[in-house]
């Protein structure tokens, strides 16, 4: 065996079932890896060392006494720091919630615990999940394991960097406009945003409620399928969660994609797209054709409006969701205040970082009387047109194959002072959030400089299985997902 921390979840489960590896050994190996490389990466806010060690030892004791354990019991998992986990801080990488300790577990955490997965830490992110580089964190940036001078993507950059650097076996993140897929592409890992409502959002700190979705971040598609099996399902605590049976996603991994029709949207090959990214998608199409799938050009005509639409809707929803951070009930409160209005002002001025403030102001503006029709209502109409583009495409193809990002990972500092540039990096990921559809980013290759390039697959609502099987089949043929950064 290689070092246990290098294993995928399903590999580690095989070793554990054969009694060749204990949960404690696996956790200890991951913790030692964290000690070794975390100084360079800064993927975590909190490493839950003692809790992880204790849980692992308990699982081993139960396994030794012949208890019937869930199949994935003992596998470590990192959790993005906007997902509530009782008794540990959930900061959202914001000064506003620096000391916030949730009194309850998110529904996904309840499921993780019930499955015997072992939370190993809470990961860094862009503040309140607003950003594409993990530079908007109040607690310092995360570095891309493939090149420490570059960003890991965002906002789930801590989770994707942790998986990429073997600082965990599994992770979860949240995706509102690309925050799982874009950093997965930048860190060369598998990142999956399921259909809106497939996984409960109860206990996920809200950014833009009609777009937010939790999803798996893993070393390969098989792990993503296994983790989705654990996380998916209806939850009465989330009124938007889908009440439909959950298929066995692992069983869908046949490796057979013969006859599958893939659509390649011409609008995704815009001017300015990096040549190596384009080539990577073309190469991927060839791989699929060799496997017996067919690739055809399709059109998603309203793509060019997606970024503007996304940034109207997500800021509007954010301005409403973030109104609760007023210093009254929880979170940061300013020290000195003259009256209640002064307290609100100072608390919010001091507690939020610049990107969060920008979005609250933008969102308040697009919702304000006099501008509502011109901005928010119009954005909702275009959202419908974007949904209809996908509906029409799925009349003739089973899934969409496209780039995940317009470029390989960019340098830290390169875009952080230019919000518009940063927003444009979501051009390929945000459209499907507007349509509520599932999308997965998987490693597609590397640039001449050795930087990761991802490809993206998009499917019809609730067709997670097709995307997972397409990803799995690609990973049987290629070994990009097995390459590791040198640290
Ligand atoms: N980068 C996008 C944004 O800044 C997406 C964020 C997300 O998916 N949480 O809004």
Q: How confident is the model at residue 270 (pLDDT cuts 50, 70, 90)?
A: confident
Each residue of 277-306: pLDDT tens digit?
999 999 999 999 999 999 999 999 999 999
| CB 129 less than 6 A from any atom of ligand 1 | yes
178 and 325 housed in the same domain:
no
Q: Is the pLDDT of residue 157 over 70?
A: yes
CA distances (Å), origin 241, targets 102, 231, 463? 22, 12, 16
**Rounded CA separation 87/443 (Å):** 35
- Whether 33 is covered by a domain: the verdict is yes
Distance 179 CA to ligand 1 centre (A): 5
- Angle between helix axes 221-231 and 107-114 (nearest 10 degrees) is 110
Q: Of 326, 347, 380, which one is at a domain's C-terminal end? A: 380
- DSSP per residue, 187-214: HTSEEEE--TTSB--TTBPPSSTTT-EE
CA dihedral sign of residues 109, 112, 116, 122: negative
Q: How confident is the model at residue 160 (pLDDT cuts 50, 70, 90)?
A: very high
Q: Is the pLDDT of residue 442 over 90?
A: yes
Cis amide linkage into residue 174, ω under 30° from 0: no
| CB 445 less than 6 A from any atom of ligand 1 | no
Tokens of 316: 């509007």
375 and 464 housed in the same domain:
no
Options 93, 94, 179, 471, the catalytic residue: 179
**Rounded CA separation 402/437 (Å):** 14
Q: What is the mean pLDDT of residues 8-37?
A: 97
| CB 475 less than 6 A from any atom of ligand 1 | no
344 and 420 housed in the same domain:
no
CA distances (Å), origin 66, targets 11, 23, 69? 21, 15, 9
Each residue of 318-332: pLDDT tens digit?
999 999 999 998 899
Concerning whether 299 is annotated as a catalytic residue, the answer is no
Concerning whether 80 is annotated as a catalytic residue, the answer is yes
- Angle between helix axes 464-477 and 275-290 (nearest 10 degrees) is 90
- Whether 392 is covered by a domain: the verdict is no
pLDDT at 184: 98
184 and 320 housed in the same domain:
no
166 and 25 housed in the same domain:
yes
SS3 479: coil
| CB 485 less than 6 A from any atom of ligand 1 | no
- Whether 297 is covered by a domain: the verdict is no
186 and 66 housed in the same domain:
yes
433 and 318 housed in the same domain:
no
The residue whose CA is least distant from atom 10 of ligand 1 is 130
Distance 153 CA to ligand 1 centre (A): 10
Number of neighbours of residue 91 by Cβ within 10 angstroms: 26
- Whether 395 is covered by a domain: the verdict is no
Q: Is the pLDDT of residue 392 over 90?
A: yes
| CB 142 less than 6 A from any atom of ligand 1 | no
pLDDT at 330: 85
135 and 244 housed in the same domain:
yes
Q: Can you list the positions of beta strands (E) in 178-332?
A: 190-193, 213-218, 261-265, 294-298
373 and 463 housed in the same domain:
no
Ligand 1 atom at minimum distance from 433 CA: 8
Which stretches of 115-254 are DSSP H helices? 157-164, 181-187, 221-231
User: Of the residues 129, 173, 424, which should be mutated to test ligand 1's pocket, given the most ligand atoms within 8 Å of the CB?
Assistant: 129
Global model pTM greater than 0.85: yes
Q: How confident is the model at residue 253 (pLDDT cuts 50, 70, 90)?
A: very high
User: Of the residues 177, 310, 317, 434, which should be mutated to test ligand 1's pocket, given the most ligand atoms within 8 Å of the CB?
Assistant: 177
Tokens of 375: 């901005």
Distance 64 CA to ligand 1 centre (A): 44
154 and 46 housed in the same domain:
yes
Q: Of 380, 412, 442, which one is at a domain's C-terminal end? A: 380
The number of distinct structural domains making up the chain is 2
Nearest to residue 351, comparing CAs of 101, 121, 100? 100
- Whether 288 is covered by a domain: the verdict is no
CB 239 within 8 A of CB 454: no
Tokens of 41: 């990466």
Q: Is the pLDDT of residue 1 over 80?
A: no
Q: What is the mean pLDDT of residues 70-97?
A: 98
CB 313 within 8 A of CB 207: no
CB 435 within 8 A of CB 386: yes
119 and 165 housed in the same domain:
yes
pLDDT at 271: 78
| CB 178 less than 6 A from any atom of ligand 1 | yes
- Whether 281 is covered by a domain: the verdict is no
Report the run of H or E that residue 372 belongs to, with start and end: none
End-to-end Cα separation, the chain, in angstroms: 20
Ligand 1 atom at minimum distance from 207 CA: 9
CATH code assigned at 476: 3.90.1300.10
Each residue of 352-374: pLDDT tens digit?
999 999 999 999 999 999 999 99
- Whether 335 is covered by a domain: the verdict is yes
Cα 444 from chain centre: 17
pLDDT at 398: 98
| CB 213 less than 6 A from any atom of ligand 1 | no
Q: Of 323, 350, 380, which one is at a domain's C-terminal end? A: 380
Concerning whether 174 is annotated as a catalytic residue, the answer is no
**Rounded CA separation 70/434 (Å):** 35
- Whether 115 is covered by a domain: the verdict is yes
Report the run of H or E that residue 341 belongs to, with start and end: helix 340-351
pLDDT at 272: 79
Number of neighbours of residue 165 by Cβ within 10 angstroms: 28
CB 179 within 8 A of CB 185: no
Distance 129 CA to ligand 1 centre (A): 6
Mean pLDDT of the chain: 97
189 and 62 housed in the same domain:
yes
SS3 456: strand
Could you list the residue range(s) of the whole structural domain that residue 341 is in?
Answer: 304-380
């Amino acid at each position: 065996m290689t070092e246990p921390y290098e294993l995928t979840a399903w590999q580690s489960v095989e070793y554990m079932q054969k009694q060749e590896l204990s949960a404690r050994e696996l956790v200890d190996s991951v913790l030692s890896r964290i000690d070794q490389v975390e100084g360079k990466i800064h993927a975590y806010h909190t490493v839950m060392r003692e809790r992880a060690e204790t849980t692992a030892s308990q699982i081993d004791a139960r396994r030794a006494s012949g208890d019937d354990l869930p199949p994935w019991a003992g596998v470590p998992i990192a959790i993005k720091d906007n997902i509530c986990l009782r008794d540990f801080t959930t900061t959202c990488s914001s000064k506003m919630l620096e000391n916030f300790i949730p009194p309850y577990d998110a529904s996904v955490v309840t499921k993780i615990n019930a499955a015997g997965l072992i939370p190993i830490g809470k990961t860094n992110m862009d503040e309140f999940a607003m950003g594409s580089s993990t530079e908007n964190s109040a607690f310092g940036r995360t570095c891309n394991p493939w090149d420490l001078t570059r960003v890991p993507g965002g906002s789930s950059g801590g989770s994707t960097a942790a998986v990429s650097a073997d600082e965990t076996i599994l992770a979860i993140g949240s995706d509102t406009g690309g925050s799982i897929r874009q950093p997965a592409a930048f860190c060369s890992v598998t990142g999956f945003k399921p259909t809106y409502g497939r996984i409960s959002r109860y206990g996920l700190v809200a950014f833009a409620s009609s777009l937010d979705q939790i999803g798996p971040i893993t070393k390969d598609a098989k792990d993503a399928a296994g983790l989705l099996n654990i996380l998916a399902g209806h939850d009465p605590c989330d009124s938007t969660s889908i009440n439909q049976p959950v298929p066995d996603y692992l069983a869908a991994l046949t490796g057979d994609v013969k006859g599958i029709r893939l659509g390649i949207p011409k609008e995704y090959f815009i001017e300015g797209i990096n040549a190596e990214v384009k080539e990577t998608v073309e190469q991927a199409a060839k791989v699929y054709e060799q496997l017996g799938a067919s690739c055809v050009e399709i059109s998603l005509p309203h793509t060019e409006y997606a970024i503007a639409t996304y940034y109207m809707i997500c800021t509007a929803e954010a301005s409403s969701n973030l109104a609760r951070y007023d210093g009254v009930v929880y979170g940061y409160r300013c020290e000195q205040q003259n009256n209640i209005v002064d307290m609100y002002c100072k608390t919010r001025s001091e507690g939020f970082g610049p990107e969060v403030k920008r979005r609250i102001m933008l969102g308040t503006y697009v919702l304000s009387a006099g501008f509502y029709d011109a901005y928010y209502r119009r954005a909702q109409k275009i959202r419908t047109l974007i949904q209809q583009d996908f509906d029409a495409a799925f009349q003739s193809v089973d899934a969409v194959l496209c780039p995940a990002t317009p470029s390989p990972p960019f340098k830290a500092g390169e875009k952080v002072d230019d919000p518009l540039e940063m927003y444009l990096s979501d051009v390929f990921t945000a459209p499907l959030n507007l349509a509520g559809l599932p999308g997965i980013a998987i490693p597609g290759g590397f640039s001449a400089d050795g930087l990761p390039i991802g490809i993206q697959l998009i499917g019809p609502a609730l067709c997670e299985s097709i995307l997972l099987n397409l990803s799995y089949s690609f990973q049987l043929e290629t070994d990009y997902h097995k390459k590791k950064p040198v640290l």
